[in-house]
Amino acid sequence: MRPYVITTDSSADLEENFLKEHEIGMVSLNCLLDGETYNSENPLPVKEFYAKVRGGAMPTTSQVNPEQAKALFEPYAKAGTDVLHLAFSSGLSGSCQSAMIAAQEVMEEYPDCRIVVVDTLLAAMGQGLLVYKAVQKKEAGASMDEVARWCEDNKMMIASYVTVDDLNHLYRGGRISRSSAVLGSMVGIKPVIRIDDEGKLEVIGKARGRKKAVQTIIDKLMSLIQDGEKTVFISHGDCLEEAEAIRDTLVEKYGIEETMINFVGPVVGAHTGAGVLAVFAMAKSR
């Protein structure tokens, strides 16, 4: 069996230490802010990013292009290593299509190499959770085909529930409709969002106040979580104390045993704004 690696992109919001420990390759989307382009080569500290956003900065993002994806894949091909790439949702970005184009080009140049691209139809730590589960299976001895098949079979079983302070950032970035964004301007009303089966953001409800919105996303996730599943990922837009409070509730009330908390990075945070909170788990459905 040829050796293989798992790769992903920066929208997965996985910690650098985790990527290094498990030798996960990563290609970076770009965040454009105040005339500067930030990515893995020119990183912007996340807390500084959110400070700028709170100060009125309006960041934008650009997808991974085929040349960037090729630069990720080609060194592995030269080394005789196959690649399983878990990409940002095609419902939110063209990065997956770029990865597919690059994979085809690299495989034509290196006929012995195989590159499999999975459109996760996920974002942020929902995408990160699929990467995490794939890594577990790889390190347990599963082949690339087995892991790729598991990802395709199970990506629709990762539930993602989100609340934001308002929807204006999502509307400005074209991620939701104007009618949905109206919720964001209602005083005291906080939206409840999920990632749907097409990998797009869907506003599914509203809650009166932040506390109620947070409880709603917890309730929705736990009503769908798979029997016996004890892992939940939590991401936040520079509101760590609230994320830790969610973790404490999950552990104390629901018996969750394993959590990972990390920032919503600039790639996704450019479209959600500061204060976003999200929860992710293997579920019976999305």
Tens place of pLDDT per residue across the chain (286 aa) = 799 999 999 999 999 999 999 999 999 999 999 999 999 889 999 999 999 999 989 899 999 999 999 999 999 999 999 999 999 999 999 999 999 999 999 999 999 999 999 999 999 999 999 999 999 999 999 999 999 999 999 999 999 999 998 777 677 766 667 666 665 566 678 889 999 999 999 889 889 899 999 999 999 999 999 999 999 999 999 999 999 999 999 999 999 999 999 999 999 999 889 999 999 999 999 9
Please tell me the predicted confidence (pLDDT) of residue 176: 67
- pTM, whole model, 2 decimals? 0.94
Please tell me the predicted confidence (pLDDT) of residue 206: 87
Please tell me the predicted confidence (pLDDT) of residue 188: 75
Please tell me the predicted confidence (pLDDT) of residue 122: 98
258, 230 contact by CB (below 8 A): yes
Domains of the chain: 4-155 (3.40.50.10170), 157-282 (3.30.1180.10)
Please tell me the predicted confidence (pLDDT) of residue 99: 98
| Token code pair at residue 124 | 């942020």
Please tell me the predicted confidence (pLDDT) of residue 203: 87
